[in-house]
Structure 1
Amino acid sequence: MKTQAYTLFTCLMLATSPLAAGQVYTSTEHQFELTQVASGLEHPWSLAFLPGGDMLVTEREGRLRRIRDGVLVAAPISGVPELVVSGQGGLLDVVLHPQFAANHTLFLSYAHRSSDGMTTRVARATLEGDELTDVEVIFEALPRSGTSRHFAGRMAFDRSGYLYIAVGDRGDKDRAQDTGDDAGGVHRITINGEAAPGNPGLGNDEINDTLFTWGNRNIQGMTVHPESGAIWTHEHGPRGGDEINIVRSGTNYGWPEITYGIGYTGLPISFHTEKPGMAQPLHYWDPSIAPSGMAFYTGEHFPRWRSNLFVGALKMRKLVRLDIRDGKVREEEDILTELDERIRDVRDGPDGSLWLLTDSSNGKVYRLDPVQ
């Protein structure tokens, strides 16, 4: 009887599971199904698509994994640079060189520890089969500190081939307003790690050469607008005040001088939401959703979603769809709330699908498919 009862319970759970066969999810624009492509990942953080159909997934615990023919390869890719797993730090983003098909070059961001403390690093490497070779550190945020928070780490290439790197304020908010400090901003470099031409700090001793923006708290989403080519980001506020911003050279985004959030104690961080010379967000959330991962959808599977912005949410455990026109959010929709999983990354796949990573000790890779 116990076995029969367990079998019945299991069948009921499968029948009511969000991933039960035939489960259809509905948004205001499309119906879709959710396909689980991989599971068993330990806090996956980033997803990249290789030519030919394979995928790379970073695990915050320090492993780079490959999905081949729709199956997670058991052995991690070797040659990952030395890193530290501490608090919010570990192996973070992976992005491919714009000419990856020809040169097999990729870039990893990660936390690193030395006797001076911890920081955010970026390494360039060559992927040869299931091994990284020619690994070279091309960026290191200074000064280091002892905290294990706000490493940021999101990266993206612009259309000119320059690499943008987000570095968090490392849990010390005042560092974000110090342009002689690498924390709390976006850096723009060449693939060799040099300051990119045109950076606002070149020729200015008061601004670090690689800094492109400052006043950023902890950017966890970065993507390229499919039409304008501009770099878009979102960042965590404290209690409230998560922001979406468009990255513009030499711009101060205000943290912590202006914010739409309050401190975790419930007390104000600033009494100002705007000040001269500081940019306003394109959009903000209050209360906080803890955004992570972001992508514009450009595929063919969901034509009415095309050019919409999709944002994952960790705290609120959902996927957010934003229809943004003329610099304003015209529609905001919460999707996959019933999945009840922390969405860590969102990617626009070359196959026309939208892809997600979930953040847990049994993290998953999901694909959104249209209902046939």
Structure 2
Amino acid sequence: MHSFRHLIMFSALALFGPPLAAESQIFTSQEANFRLETVAESLEHPWSLAFLPDGSMLVTERAGRLRVIRNGELSPKPVAGLPASAVTGQGGLFDVVLHPGFEKNRILFLSYAHRTSEGMTTRVARANFDKDRLENVTVIFEALPRSGTSRHFGARMAFDASGYLYISVGDRGDKDRAQDTEDDAGGVHRITDSGEAAPGNPGLDDPGINNTLFTWGNRNIQGMSVHPITGDIWTHEHGPRGGDEINVLRAGTNYGWPEITYGIGYSGLPITLDTEKDGMAQPLHYWDPSIAPSGMAFYTGLEFPEWQGNLFVGALKMQKLVRLKLKDRGVTEEEDLLVKLAERIRDVRTGPDGALWLLTDSPQGKVYRVVPAQ
């Protein structure tokens, strides 16, 4: 793991200015002053953000809409041609990810909850984005079996440097499914851009493992990011009461849920007495109590040189942005930001403009741009 020797310590959050309008507040710390710019608002539970080559952006709304932000303005009409999402419970439209060759092929990928008479599941569709419309929409992944629950869909996605797509699928509220390698729930799947199992997947040589599975023992991953130096896929996942985890994905690795956890059940009773077992990976970092993490990004921009290489994680329950300083694949410093903003942070991205971008999870959700205060 690369050692971030040139990072500067960033701590002691303080807040100045009026308590209502985020844009009028200056957020300060030992090494940086920053503020928030509202780029778009009145979005219904925005879930994911993607930056297009022409400078515009795509934003998903969990209610089943894909929106375009162009020239700093939210287009009033949603993108047409989307597949139908099952908007119930935690379900709906989730992630949007561009194909690595998007500038030429205009291909993107959407994850969403889908329902039939057999129940609900996590699906991924591939489509061409053309003039604010989706064409050639094709389902390339569907987690099976379906179930009647409307929670723990996972649904975060990311491409690695080889062009393979990683898709998280939650345990769907049935914890034992995460240890069943013939069940698609409770793990991360790795596929080609057309939906085939990616070469090197552990199940290709083992009939007891579904061939798209890359890892298992994952409860509900809602943060996924590519390390800017190593190319590793990093994830975070929700624990129950405590035990939210950050992990680095390794093929064929069991991350332990529910056999090991640093959390307890919602009833207050233990899920297990074990926090480690042979053959099960330990988290790189965990939270207890739970912060309900969602969205995650390594900061790679130039607007804040002191943040270079830091990892930013949104928090829903605790309504904050967490900054983690890393060294040798470990967390050396943790700081809570935006705690007085009182917003559920759903997604975090580093933009091509060098700013940090945030989505807030509410019926009147916002797109925020984090910029230097000066």
So what's the TM-score if we normalise by structure 1? 0.95
Which residue number in structure 2 is paired with residue 186 of structure 1? 188
2:347 is paired with a residue of what secondary structure? strand
The residue type equivalent to 1:284 in the other structure is Y
2:149 aligned residue? 147
1:20 CA drift (Å): 4.7
Alignment partner of 1:229 out of 221, 228, 231: 231
Question: Distance between the aligned counterparts of 1:276 and 1:16, measured in 2?
Answer: 50
- Secondary structure (helix, strand or coil) at the match of 1:332 reads strand
2:219 to 217, 220, 233: 217
Partners in 2 of 1:260 and 1:300 — Cα distance? Answer: 36
Aligned to 2:57: 55
Residue type matched to 1:25 in 2?
F
Give the distance between the partners of 1:33 and 1:151, measured in 2 at CA: 33
5+ residue gaps, structure 1, are 1-13
Decide which of 290, 311, 314 is 1:312's aligned counterpart: 314
Question: Following TM superposition, by how much is the alpha carbon of 1:19 offset from its aligned partner in structure 2, in angstroms?
Answer: 2.1
| Number of the residue aligned with 2:116 | 114
Tell me, in whole angstroms, the C-alpha distance in 1 between the residues paired with 2:72 and 2:20.
22
Name the SS of the counterpart of 1:337 in structure 2: coil
The residue number in structure 1 matching 2:46 is 44
Q: How does 1:322-337 map to 2 (within 5 A)?
A: 322-337=324-339
Find the counterpart in structure 2 of residue 19 from structure 1: 22
Cα-to-partner distance string for 1:112-147 (whole Å, 9 max, x where unaligned): 001110000000000001100000000000000000
Shift, 1:313, TM fit: 0.1
Contact 2:23 2:35 in 1 (8 A): no
Cα shift at 1:15: 4.3
Secondary structure of the residue aligned to 1:202 is: helix
Give how far 1:28 is off: 3.3
Q: Which amino acid aligns with 2:372?
A: P
Show the counterpart of 2:129. 127
Other-structure match for 1:73: 75
Query: What residue in structure 2 maps to residue 7 of structure 1?
Result: none
Answer with 1 or 2: which has the greater Rg: 1
The equivalent position to 1:199 in structure 2, one of 198, 201, 211, is 201
Matched residues, percent identical? 73
Where does residue 9 of structure 2 map in the other structure? none
Residue identity matched to 1:314: L
Task: Confirm or deny that 1:349 pairs with 2:340.
Answer: no
How large is the Cα RMSD of the aligned pairs?
0.9
The alpha-carbon deviation at position 203 of structure 1 amounts to 2.4
Which residue is 1:5 aligned to? none
CA-to-partner distance for each residue in 1:28-62, whole Å, 9 max, x for gaps?
A: 33110110111000000000000111000000000
Return the alpha-carbon distance in structure 2 between the equivalents of residues 19 and 123 of structure 1. 36
Aligned twin of 2:253: 251
Once residues 80 and 110 of structure 1 are traced to their aligned partners in structure 2, the CA distance between those partners, rounded to angstroms, is: 10
CA distance in 1, matches of 2:371, 2:27: 10
Superposed displacement of residue 16, structure 1: 3.8
Distance in 2 between residues matched to 1:304 and 1:266, nearest whole Å: 40
Three-state SS of the structure 2 residue aligned to 1:126 is strand
CA distance in 1, matches of 2:241, 2:18: 38
The residue identity in structure 2 corresponding to 1:75 is K
SS in 1 for 2:204: coil
**Residue 263 of structure 2, aligned match among 258, 261, 274:** 261
Cα distance in 1 for partners of 2:126, 2:286 equals 33
- Which digits, 9 at most, give the CA deviation of each residue in 1:169-222, with x for residues without a partner? 000000000000000000000011000000000021100000000000000100
Q: What is the match of residue 34 of structure 1?
A: 36
**Contact 1:29 1:305 survives alignment (8 Å):** no
Q: Which amino acid aligns with 1:49?
A: F
3-state SS of paired residue (1:338): coil
Letter in 1 for 2:20: S
* C-alpha separation in 1, matches of 2:125 and 2:72: 27
**CA–CA separation in structure 2 for the residues paired with 1:15 and 1:283:** 35
2:245 touches 2:286 (CA, 8 Å); kept in 1?
A: yes
CA contact (8 A) 1:18 1:339 kept: no
Output the amino acid matched with 2:128. T
Q: What's the CA shift for 1:18? A: 4.2
Q: How does 1:146-185 map to 2 (within 5 A)?
A: 146-185=148-187
